Structure 1
Amino acid sequence: MKKLWLFCLLIASLTQAQDKPVKTQEIAVNELLNGTLYLPTAGTPKSLVILIAGSGPTDRDGNQTGMDNNSLKFLAEQLAAKGIAVFSYDKRFFAMALKGPIDERKLSFDDFIHDAETVVTYFNNQKHYRNIIIAGHSEGSLVGMVAAAHRTTAGFISLAGAGRPIDAVLADQIAERAPMLLPETKSILAQLKKGETVANFSPALNSLFRLSVQPYMISWIKYDPQSEIKKLKIPVLLINGTKDIQVSVSEAELLHKAKPDSQLKIITNMNHIFKDIKGDSNENQSSYSNPDLPVMPELIEAITVFVSKI
């Protein structure tokens, strides 16, 4: 009876291991950058993908307060299940918040570029992986693009990244949602592009151009994605979805035009957070707060094939 019990326990353990093809490890790169390393349970991966989250206080899983969708977590897990190591980290907001209120006047877009470079250097120094690939999502695409040019990397992946500077993107958004504010918006953006802050503007634009966030905007607006992507001498994969209501397919096409040797993958029905949307905008928006909706298999396949050929 004891032997039978041990045999059943062994079978259960093996079954459980097979059900979990991915293992995780918590890593603190420094006092500001904490993340999760996803590894396949079998084999030794030769490639590491570093995920860089999009705008705002986004964590390693791709979540913000009130918007749990686990987009980056699901992406990391499924890539690791395919034999690719993945590191996804919290943006510096989270470590800073533990020390007290964040003074956003002191935040700079260059801080996030430096963070990405720090993560790349950390793993390069470990010499565990033959290839390190950066994959940046949304705003993280531009962050990763610049970092990839400054550090030793084997490839770059843009996930729903803009193809134009942020001033052009914001002007288009205002033109669509509040056209009456467009002239004032363009005037403010022109001042910011000169490196000058703007004190007086309509209250309706306060959330976008409040004084405390203007230094960050000034540091961000100086980067042109089309200029930055031309600097990359490594394989590049550009991915966008047809149901992305934040970054249109045309943005990826602009990047592809700027770097013709890049690979362009447009995924039908994929939205900004990699989910399969077959319905209307309500379904699209509700997916941002659905932590159980998986990412699209076509995304995993595209990245897996790209990484395997590096």
Structure 2
Amino acid sequence: MNKTICALAAATLATGAAASEPIAVTAPGPQGDLAGTLIEPAEGKPVVLIVPGSGPTDRDGNNPMGVNASSYRLLAEALSQRGIGSLRIDKRGMFESRAAIPDPNDVTISAYAEDVSAWISVVRARTEVDCVFVLGHSEGGLVALEAGQKSDDLCGILLVASVGRPLGDTLREQLQSNPANAVVLDEAFAAIAKLEAGEGVDTQDMHRGLMPLFNPAVQGFLIDMFARIPAELAAGVEVPMLIVAGGKDIQTPVTDAEALAEGQPAAKLIVIDDMNHVLKPVEGDSRLANIATYSDASLPVHPELVDAIASFLEDSKS
């Protein structure tokens, strides 16, 4: 268990607010503690709870599958320069939240949303802020939307590079976009259809290239996730909502953001033309250059994203 360290008081300067030091914090999980990093806000400023994307993605936005962009850490630090607090978290069963459940695959979107509520309680107790906003990145947007169905404990939702269509459709599109997958598409599409119907998939004779995707250990989570319609969840949110998409996002296209905005017409939609999925600026249309940013923690998150978030939070106060 990490020891909690004291935060520096936020001081207002002519150029903005001095960043607070990060604090290791915990929240109660099902069988053990959840772990996260809190940056306290300046007086009168809100806190943004950052919910990670899919797979083994940690509180900084990195995962062992080749993503080392540190997008969430960099975003939290950029927000702190404006006095905005943040909490970034490890998902239950993973990294320093591994004590929360013995099997990190034994989860649902609803379970993750319960953890969001637990974290909001911790933030309010530690900082005495009036408002906690929930920012979901990628798959984390689905968690934020689920949490938003019970809006009495949060003040707004921010969806960044979030899926807006049924997840089965998204997966089909992603598989089809890679010509190398042509030989397994029929088998993959059949598996997706079964999961959408709430049925498990027999992987005994499945093409080995599909095994990581349809591993029996994750099929329960996939069934739960495929059953949710992001645009319908967006329609059920009654708090302010910001939707941000990147024009250079090669994983979640702008059409997903547009689908979310159609579901919730009161939401504010912003498209940042040269931002990619890991929230970094990208020049040109080279896929290799785009992917290179996934492992470049020295590259800051897109400044227009920081501006959009800060503006939305300020507008939501009025």
Report the AA paired with residue 187 of structure 1: A
CA contact (8 A) 2:166 2:226 kept: yes
In the alignment, the residues of structure 2 paired with residue 158 and residue 259 of structure 1 have an alpha-carbon distance, to the nearest angstrom, of 12
Deviation of 1:96 after TM superposition, in Å, equals 5.5
Residue in structure 2 matched with residue 266 of structure 1 by the alignment: 271
Residue in structure 2 matched with residue 78 of structure 1 by the alignment: 78
Q: Which moved more, 1:67-76 or 1:125-134?
A: 125-134
In the alignment, the residues of structure 2 paired with residue 22 and residue 258 of structure 1 have an alpha-carbon distance, to the nearest angstrom, of 37
Pairing of 1:1-310 with structure 2 (within 5 A): 21-30=19-28, 31-40=32-41, 43-65=42-64, 66-92=66-92, 93-95=94-96, 97=98, 103=103, 106-124=106-124, 128-151=128-151, 152-177=153-178, 178-200=181-203, 201-279=206-284, 280-310=286-316
In the alignment, the residues of structure 2 paired with residue 195 and residue 104 of structure 1 have an alpha-carbon distance, to the nearest angstrom, of 20
Secondary structure class of the residue paired with 1:252: helix
* Number of equivalent positions: 291
Q: So what's the TM-score if we normalise by structure 2?
A: 0.85
CA contact (8 A) 2:176 2:182 kept: yes
Structure 1 residues 95, 245: CA separation in 2 closer, same or farther (over 3 Å shift)? same
Secondary structure class of the residue paired with 1:135: strand
Structure 1 residues 307, 19: CA separation in 2 closer, same or farther (over 3 Å shift)? closer
What's the RMSD between the two structures over aligned residues? 2.2
Report the AA paired with residue 229 of structure 1: A
In the alignment, the residues of structure 2 paired with residue 215 and residue 239 of structure 1 have an alpha-carbon distance, to the nearest angstrom, of 29
Deviation of 1:124 after TM superposition, in Å, equals 4.1
CA contact (8 A) 1:104 1:212 kept: no
Higher helix proportion, which one?
1
Report the AA paired with residue 139 of structure 2: E
Residue in structure 2 matched with residue 5 of structure 1 by the alignment: none
Report the AA paired with residue 89 of structure 1: I
Secondary structure class of the residue paired with 2:210: helix
Q: Which moved more, 1:123-132 or 1:65-74?
A: 123-132
The CA deviation string for residues 153-184 of structure 1, in whole angstroms up to 9 with x for no partner, is 11110000000121111111122222343332
Deviation of 1:112 after TM superposition, in Å, equals 1.7
In the alignment, the residues of structure 2 paired with residue 289 and residue 105 of structure 1 have an alpha-carbon distance, to the nearest angstrom, of 25
Structure 1 residues 84, 204: CA separation in 2 closer, same or farther (over 3 Å shift)? same
In the alignment, the residues of structure 2 paired with residue 172 and residue 286 of structure 1 have an alpha-carbon distance, to the nearest angstrom, of 22
In the alignment, the residues of structure 2 paired with residue 230 and residue 179 of structure 1 have an alpha-carbon distance, to the nearest angstrom, of 36
The CA deviation string for residues 69-106 of structure 1, in whole angstroms up to 9 with x for no partner, is 11001111111111211111112211364699x64553
In the alignment, the residues of structure 1 paired with residue 38 and residue 225 of structure 2 have an alpha-carbon distance, to the nearest angstrom, of 28
Secondary structure class of the residue paired with 2:261: helix
Structure 1 residues 254, 142: CA separation in 2 closer, same or farther (over 3 Å shift)? same
Report the AA paired with residue 44 of structure 1: E
In the alignment, the residues of structure 2 paired with residue 253 and residue 213 of structure 1 have an alpha-carbon distance, to the nearest angstrom, of 29
In the alignment, the residues of structure 2 paired with residue 287 and residue 267 of structure 1 have an alpha-carbon distance, to the nearest angstrom, of 16
The CA deviation string for residues 195-229 of structure 1, in whole angstroms up to 9 with x for no partner, is 21111433221111121211111121111101100
Secondary structure class of the residue paired with 2:186: helix
CA contact (8 A) 2:27 2:35 kept: yes
In the alignment, the residues of structure 2 paired with residue 25 and residue 45 of structure 1 have an alpha-carbon distance, to the nearest angstrom, of 19
In the alignment, the residues of structure 2 paired with residue 60 and residue 109 of structure 1 have an alpha-carbon distance, to the nearest angstrom, of 17
Structure 1 residues 50, 230: CA separation in 2 closer, same or farther (over 3 Å shift)? same
CA contact (8 A) 1:45 1:84 kept: no
Q: Which moved more, 1:283-292 or 1:124-133?
A: 124-133
